[in-house]
Chain A
Amino acid sequence: DQQVKQNSPSLSVQEGRISILNCDYTNSMFDYFLWYKKYPAEGPTFLISISSIKDKNEDGRFTVFLNKSAKHLSLHIVPSQPGDSAVYFCAANHGGSARQLTFGSGTQLTVLP
């Protein structure tokens, strides 16, 4: 059973516009959520996280929104840059830590110049 789902395998966005990546989860025990970016032949790189006690967290161009009632989170990248082109993974855990993460299947973001 997929407890964390990223239903869009790919997304293309024009440079300078907003990229919105979505993630849904089914396990109501999850209370900590993270987004990672991954380039080919490299390990995932942490981007931003959010605890379930918040509904928004911002870090520079990256903002994560959490809707607990809908069990949905999204990552907004504004403005999008060509260097943002990568696979983005949503991950979740319970216990407020980043260990033993459950990952989504990833979304390939392509930012077009």
Chain B
Amino acid sequence: KAGVTQTPRYLIKTRGQQVTLSCSPISGHRSVSWYQQTPGQGLQFLFEYFSETQRNKGNFPGRFSGRQFSNSRSEMNVSTLELGDSALYLCASSPPSQVNEQFFGPGTRLTVL
């Protein structure tokens, strides 16, 4: 099975712009979660989607949003980018049965100038 894929792998934006990141989960996985990793805050949960519905949300401002499509692919969007949004954004998928692990993609490295 192919793993979790994320596109693009690297992105450079300027302050005030908006960005969309994409994640394709492992085939058959319907849950997709997003995490932000920064040197100062570590790995932090952004949100989780299941069957096109946001099921859980972390403590992030409304500039961070996401969605999930019927094929379980997910996108996250960050509007009005700030320098502090520079981070590695990780997507993870989980199988539909009793979950005992999440499978992570390689991440998208976002740099905001």
**Does B bind A?**
yes
> How many residue-residue contacts, CB under 8 A, span A and B?
62
A11 within 8 A of B: no
Interchain CB contact under 8 A, B48 and A98 = no
Interchain CB contact under 8 A, B90 and A98 = no
What is the chain B residue whose CB lies nearest that of A104? B42
Q: How long is the Cα–Cα vector from A49 to B107 in the complex, in angstroms?
A: 22
Interchain CB contact under 8 A, A49 and B45 = no
Nearest CB of chain B from residue A24's CB, rounded to whole Å: 15
Give the dominant DSSP class at A's interface. loop
| B interface footprint on A92-110 (CB within 8 Å = 1, 0 otherwise) | 0000111111111110000
Give the dominant DSSP class at B's interface. strand
Chain B hits for A100, CB < 8 A: 33, 45, 48, 56, 58
Interchain CB contact under 8 A, A99 and B33 = yes
Number of residues on chain A facing chain B (CB within 8 A): 23
Which residue numbers of A lie inside 8 Å of B, CB to CB? 32, 34, 36, 41-46, 49, 89, 91, 96-106
27 A-B pairs (CB sep. < 8 Å):
A34-B101, A41-B107, A42-B106, A43-B92, A43-B104, A43-B105, A43-B106, A43-B107, A44-B104, A45-B104, A89-B43, A96-B98, A97-B99, A98-B99, A99-B56, A99-B94, A99-B99, A99-B102, A100-B33, A100-B45, A100-B48, A100-B56, A101-B33, A101-B35, A103-B35, A103-B44, A104-B42
